[in-house]
């Protein structure tokens, strides 16, 4: 490398192309949020990049996706539409009973919470109940665990280690 006048004799180090950013968590504590299936699976596989909630959060950054426990009959009802049946096949899940529940599935980045009235999407894109007023949680960078980690869920955004 060529040194210019006034430069020190420090070794030349090229600028790194990639920068490592450690998780934005306190020690081993991470934020988590529970969703019913098949919405949790859709978020963690990247099939959906948003979810509608009746409330918002100030949290931004990495968040664990937890598949909430759900009675089997309710799960069957949630998975009875064409959207869910098609995606179960895409996810290589044979039956609704095979969807993981009461477990962490992976993590995503929570980018933003946008008022529902300001977010434009077709009903076919989101075949779940939509409140009259609510918030759209926008996610990116889904990362799915190889094996779901069993863990009880909680209401709201919660911390876990």
User: What's the pTM value of the predicted model, to 2 decimals?
Assistant: 0.77
Best CA proximity match to 43, nearest among 103, 131, 109, 117: 109
Q: For residues 49 and 141, give the distance between their C-alpha atoms in angstroms, rounded to a whole number.
A: 9
Backbone angles phi, psi at 157, to 5 degrees: -80, 130
2 Cβ partners below 8 Å, 6+ apart?
A: none
For 79-122, write each residue's pLDDT tens digit.
888 888 889 988 988 888 899 999 999 999 999 999 999 988 87
Helix (H, G, I), strand (E, B) or coil at 59: coil
Whether 132 has a pLDDT exceeding 60, the answer reads: yes
């Amino acid at each position: 490398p060529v040194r210019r006048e006034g430069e020190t004799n420090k070794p030349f180090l090229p600028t790194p192309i990639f920068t490592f950013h450690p998780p934005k968590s306190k020690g081993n504590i991470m934020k988590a949020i529970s969703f019913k299936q098949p919405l949790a699976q859709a978020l963690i596989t990247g099939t959906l990049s948003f979810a509608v909630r009746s409330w918002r959060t100030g949290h931004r950054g990495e968040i664990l996706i937890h598949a909430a426990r759900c009675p089997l009959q309710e799960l069957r009802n949630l998975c009875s539409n064409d959207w869910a049946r098609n995606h179960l096949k895409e996810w290589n899940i044979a039956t609704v009973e095979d969807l993981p529940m009461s477990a962490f599935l992976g993590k995503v980045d929570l980018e933003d919470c946008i008022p529902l009235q300001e977010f434009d999407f077709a009903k076919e894109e989101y075949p779940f109940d939509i409140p009259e007023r609510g918030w759209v949680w926008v996610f990116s960078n889904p990362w799915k665990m190889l094996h779901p980690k069993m863990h009880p869920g909680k209401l709201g955004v919660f911390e876990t280690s």
